[in-house]
A = this chain, B = another copy of it.
């Protein structure tokens, strides 16, 4: 079933059917009705590939994330979807699981689908990535990585500031032996979140920091905490790179019979919903995923009303809850 069959049945040309379906031009009421009826009867569904091909573009944008199982990424995706739908766009999602190779593959897939715009919410900074994106004409948004260019917008969170707020807060509570739980993508020497924690060691001479990394998941957080506590049971605080891993870490801590925050404090990062629902509720840093998603849509979807920034920096806020307290040991 294609346009032609519908046209034949409605006794009009394919051009007219197309016009009706896209109400792109004035069509007489009676013919329009005939066409609609034919469409109904035939259960005709336009071939979107053909449409995109003819139009030279697809009314969809691509979103690539590092780990869709982490609610942080999912929230951004959902926010983008909301914005996109309200503009009549669809969103195509791809997940890299932090693999640089998969990121390249995903970018090619999106380009191959001729998305109108592309958002890469990923940590896997890779030279290949730059090469790959360089020279495509579509608008691109990078989150937290890369530098702005002509067609590339960069949205960044000031992780440094966020982490500083956290470590400073813990230090002021008397914590002197801390652990840092990261995931593999935060191992790189350029990663802000891990860095800040490590650098604070030099700022506070009496502070000691251990580091451990595992995969970005509940289990990963748990294993990392286990490694940390096995190596040094005297830790009084564990700083986690994100909320998801923090929840995993808390599980391990409870398992060891330690109380949070009396025996040990835990912090997350992102302020996902789960941070309010876990026990104890997690002290964290808020990253406004809704706003980020909205910004992405403004940049990627052509819109006369808004003139998007070329770069934006978010200063995240500390959220104090029940997982942190004074160092008592």
For A103-115 the 0/1 string (1 means CB < 8 A from B) is: 0000011011110
Looking at chain A's contact residues, is the secondary structure mostly helix, strand, loop, or mixed?
helix
Give the residues in chain B near A69, CB-CB below 8 Å: 71, 74, 78
A173 at the interface (CB under 8 A from B): no
Q: Which of A208-216, A270-278, A287-295 contacts the other chain?
A: A270-278
Give the residues in chain B near A279, CB-CB below 8 Å: 250-251, 254, 278-279
Give the residues in chain B near A58, CB-CB below 8 Å: 49
* Contact (Cβ within 8 A) B277 A112: no
CB proximity of A255 to chain B, nearest CB, Å: 10
Of residues 113 to 166 in A, which have CB atoms within 8 Å of B's CB atoms?
113-114, 135
* Contact (Cβ within 8 A) B78 A111: no
CB within 8 Å for A47 and B114 given contacts A53-B53, A78-B68, A279-B279: yes
* Contact (Cβ within 8 A) A112 B78: no
* Contact (Cβ within 8 A) B113 A274: no
Give the residues in chain B near A108, CB-CB below 8 Å: 45
Give the residues in chain B near A277, CB-CB below 8 Å: 218, 222, 247-248, 251, 278
CA distance A68 to B53 in the complex (A): 30
* Closest B residue to A252 using CB positions: B277
Of residues 194 to 232 in A, which have CB atoms within 8 Å of B's CB atoms?
217-219, 222
Give the residues in chain B near A188, CB-CB below 8 Å: none
* Contact (Cβ within 8 A) B218 A45: no
A319 at the interface (CB under 8 A from B): no
For A31-69 the 0/1 string (1 means CB < 8 A from B) is: 000000000000101111110110000100000000011
A314 at the interface (CB under 8 A from B): no
CB proximity of A5 to chain B, nearest CB, Å: 14
A93 at the interface (CB under 8 A from B): yes
* Contact (Cβ within 8 A) B274 A218: yes
Q: Given contact pairs A47-B53, A48-B112, A49-B50, enumerate 18 new A-B contacts (beta carbons under 8 Å).
A: A43-B135, A45-B108, A45-B112, A48-B49, A48-B109, A48-B113, A49-B53, A68-B78, A69-B71, A69-B78, A74-B74, A217-B273, A218-B276, A218-B277, A219-B273, A277-B278, A278-B279, A279-B279
Q: Interface residues, chain A, CB within 8 Å of chain B?
A: 43, 45-50, 52-53, 58, 68-69, 71, 74, 78, 81, 90, 92-93, 95, 108-109, 111-114, 135, 217-219, 222, 247-248, 250-251, 254, 273-274, 276-279
Can you sample 17 A-B contacts with CB below 8 Å? A43-B135, A46-B112, A47-B114, A48-B109, A48-B112, A48-B113, A48-B114, A49-B58, A53-B53, A68-B74, A68-B78, A218-B273, A218-B274, A219-B273, A277-B278, A278-B278, A278-B279
